[in-house]
A = this chain, B = another copy of it.
């Protein structure tokens, strides 16, 4: 073994990373923030945790509303993921800009995304400040699946095993290659 650094480790071991969109709404403003940093964190009750940077507009909406939707983009939403990840919801409505269809949830005010493979309605039940992000621990109140299964959109690199969906501005999105 040899001593290395975090950036080299991340090149080696941080991808592929399934992408999830954190979707939140508060007082009539809504936004979508694509994330790679998420994990399951409880089986009973079902919970996921996400890491969101405080600078993101969506971070404030989650803090203020205490709710969010976790929407999972499929391989047809690579362009929308890039748009939502590189523009700020302070300046635009991302649903309109990306041609996405908001749907009402049953438990949370945050809209679901009709085009996504899956949507989870979530209530924030815990938070922890880490170095430059906030961990939101999210209890999953309802699960919605799209009628048509699709491969999930992942953040990846050009190593073998992925169909590349988009390669722009240093970001590569793909889907695990089928046989």
Contacts and interface: CB of A to CB of B under 8 A. Distances in A.
Interface string A1-37: 1111110111011101010000000000000000011
Given A44-B132, A51-B40, A132-B42, A147 B117 contact: no
Interface residues of A, number: 66
Interface in A120-179: 120, 125-133, 135, 137, 139-140, 142-147, 149, 152, 159-162, 176-179
B6 A143 contact: yes
A45 to B, nearest CB: 5
Contacts of A130: 41-42, 47, 49, 125-126, 137
- How many identical subunits does the complex contain? 2
Interface in A31-71: 36-47, 49-51
Contacts of A81: none
B103 A1 contact: yes
A177 to B, nearest CB: 5
A149 B51 contact: no
A149 B125 CA distance: 40
A175 to B, nearest CB: 9
User: Closest 6 CB pairs between A and B?
Assistant: A42-B131, A161-B176, A6-B46, A160-B179, A160-B178, A41-B51
